[in-house]
Each structure stands twice: as structure tokens, then as C-alpha cells.
Structure 1
Amino acid sequence: MHYLFKVKVPGTPNTIDATLIDGRIWVTLSSVCNSLGIHQPTQQDRLKLTCWAKIERIPLVTERGREQTMYVIDRRTLTMWLATLGVYRNKATRKTLEAYQKNIDDVLDRLQQGLRGEKNYPAAPLAEKAQ
């Protein structure tokens, strides 16, 4: 079973939900879409049509200890997908998108380094390591 944890992205008040699967960081599509104010099902369909996207629907354990099935994308997909989103589409979330585009890769690098070698990682303490 894979556990979710919150990851703070500098320059935004938001967090995204991430997990570690087979030594690789994956991010829930819903957490990113919600923070950017974009429609998740539309983005799922859009990503499924690309040859470069890795999108999976898997069961995850939330911070409240509940099992929930969610769509996740790997970090390469995340960075490529963020680059395809127009910064000027939504003025209300423009700064958040720009912060994600600038900072997400560094944040996930630090997170992956903090998780390396961890087998049973708890949700809260590791999220703090990534900040």
C-alpha cells in the first residue's frame, strides 16, 4: 500500500499530494488540478492521449488513514504537463502555476533524496523534509 504525504511548493500557499512507488515519486493529479483551478477529468483525458504521459489509477492511503483510489502521474509527466499549461489561462492561479513550473522539480528532487532507502515512510515527517 502506498501512502500520501503533503508537499509544500515554494511561492504558493498550496500543497500537493505525493507518494513513492518503486523508488519513484508520483503526484496525485487531483491535488495539482485543484490548486490550479482546472478540471481534473479533462486533464486526465488529455494526458491519456499523449505518448509521453504516465498516468495510473491506484489505491492510496490518505493522511486520515483511509484508502482511496486516485489518479497519479510520475514526476516527468508532471513537469512536462505543467509546461504545456498556459500561464495566462486563469489569472487567479497564474502565480501558483508559475511557482509550480519554476520550483516543482527541485522540490521533488529534495523529496526523493529524503525518501531514498525508506520502506515504511510516515506521512507527516517526510513532507517536512521536502520543504
Structure 2
Amino acid sequence: MQLQAIPFHGTTISAAQDGDTIRVALRPACDAMGIQLEAQYKRLGRTPWATMSMMDMTGADRKTYEMVTIDRRTFTMWLATIDTTRLKSDRARNLVETFQREAADALDNYFHNGGAINPNATEHQMRALMFQTQAQMELCQAAKGLIHPDHLEAKARIILARGLGEHATLDPNRAPLYTKDYLKEKGLSTKNLRSISPTFGKRLKAAYIEKHGIEPEKRPMNLTNSQVKHVNAYTEADRPLMDAVWEILNPTPHLTVVA
């Protein structure tokens, strides 16, 4: 099979068409993302959903190489399950996250742009879901610079996982944490929540600026009346800061022991 080099953000995805199946060469994909082939090969071998094959591939140099390949379904699942927090290199982490958001679409568009849809009902439903997922991912891509990166990444992971019928793997420290949700965790009544929210928000913003030297970014939040309000963007990594502000506003009473 003839390998095709699909351009992608300064690197390439090496893949080939095998009948109705797209096969991705695993080593070039690992090299492009800066991760070790051996570790990924072993990890894929332990999963029930991975399909790997040894195939003869002809490269751009016209030479034939025996390569480990994975099909498109495995490729998409593999991308979604790579934990980028374990990658030490910033370049590798950023590239893998980019791959997670866009590579499956790039691969599909390259081979199937303008292709016919299988008339089988189940296949039609699968493709409809794929197109819906692609549209949602494109919206996430268009929102870069407008929405906090952590919030955007969480949204993208959830969309991709939903399209695969899986649960999203999110970095807990980068998951969005709204001040409203934090205060709800304290068991406040609606009246007390409305009363304390403005003061808590101002104190938290001041504490964030004091700690980081910049104001928190903004992110849109859907309100119950269908309106959208832009609020300060915090994540689970900011929970200790919220705890500190909460403690100032609601100090824990100390018992005095009388001898």
C-alpha cells in the first residue's frame, strides 16, 4: 500500500487506503507527536478496542517497509485517550492536544471529502453523528481566543468522547470551576447565595490578581433565562484560592478549652 503524507500543523499523518479502511502508520504518528512508539504499542495491545496490523507500506522514497498500522477507529480512540498531562515537553503536549482536536477530521476529510454515504441505516446514523461532532469541534476551533483554553479543551474532549460513545478523560485541575457552583457546594440557601456571591466574587478576583499578577480570563456561562453572561474563568486548580477566600468570609469557629 502507498503511504500518503497528510499535512497537519507543520507535521504529517502517514496513512493509506486499504479498501474501505484507512490505516495509519503508528511510528510516524508517534514521532510527529513526540511520544514513544514502544509504550503506545504496548498500551494499545492491552485495550479491547484497538485493531493493529503489520503491513507492507511504500514510502515516498519508493522503498517498502513493514509497519505497525491502526485503523481509523483505533486512531481516533487512541488520540482521545492519550493523557497529555503526562507529557513533559510543552511542544509535544500542545501538538498532541491539537491532534486530539483536529486530526481525526483532517484524516477523514482527506480520504472521504465528497464520498458517498453508505445507505445502511446504522451507518447513516454513525455518519450523522460524525458530522455533528465535526461541526461542534469546528465551533470549538473558531472559539479559540474567545474562551478560556482550559474550558475550551474540556468542551472539545467531551464532544469527541460523546462521538465515540465513551466517557471524556479530563485533567481534574484544568476542569472549569464556576464560583456559583463552588458556593452551591457550601449548602447555602438561595437568599444567602445571592447575598454572598458579589462579595465572594470581588475578593476572589483580587486574590487571583495578587497571586498571578493578571486578571482572570472570561468565559461565557448559560443562564437559566437562556441569556449568556461572561464570568471570570476559574478551574479546579483555583479551588485552594477559593477555599482561602471562603475561610476569610466565613472563619471556622475555634473552641476555647477552659482548664
RMSD, aligned CA: 1.8
Q: Bigger radius of gyration, 1 or 2? A: 2
- The structure richer in strand per residue is 1
Contact 2:49–2:74 under 8 Å retained in 1: yes
Whether contact under 8 Å (1:23, 1:116) holds in the other structure is no
The equivalences for 1:1-131 within 5 A come to 2-9=1-8, 12-90=9-87, 91-114=90-113
Residues 40-67 of structure 1 show CA distances to partners (whole Å, capped at 9, x for unaligned) of: 0221111111110011111011111001
Q: Between Structure 1 and Structure 2, how many residues are aligned?
A: 114
Conserved? CA contact 2:21–2:71, under 8 Å = yes
* Greater fraction helix: 2
Sort the Cα spacing of 1:65 and 1:115 in 2 relative to 1 into closer, same or farther, 3 A.
Answer: farther
Give the match for residue 227 of structure 2. Answer: none
CA contact (8 A) 1:24 1:112 kept: no
Conservation of the 8 A alpha-carbon contact between 1:14 and 1:35:
yes
| Distance in 1 (alpha carbons) for counterparts of 2:93 and 2:33 | 8
- Once residues 107 and 96 of structure 1 are traced to their aligned partners in structure 2, the CA distance between those partners, rounded to angstroms, is 14
Identity of aligned residues (%): 31
CA deviation string 1:52-107 (max 9, x = no partner)? 00111110111110010000111111111111111222223111111111111211
SS of 1:53's partner is: coil
In structure 2, C-alpha distance between the alignment counterparts of 1:56 and 1:6, rounded to whole Å: 19
Distance 2:74 2:47 in 1: 10
- SS of the residue corresponding to residue 47 of structure 2 reads coil
Q: TM-score, normalised by structure 2?
A: 0.42
1:13 CA displacement = 1.2
Q: Which amino acid aligns with 2:78?
A: W
The TM-score normalised by the length of structure 1 is 0.80
Q: What letter is aligned with 1:58?
A: M
SS in 1 for 2:84: coil
1:47, 1:86 → 2: CA distance? 14
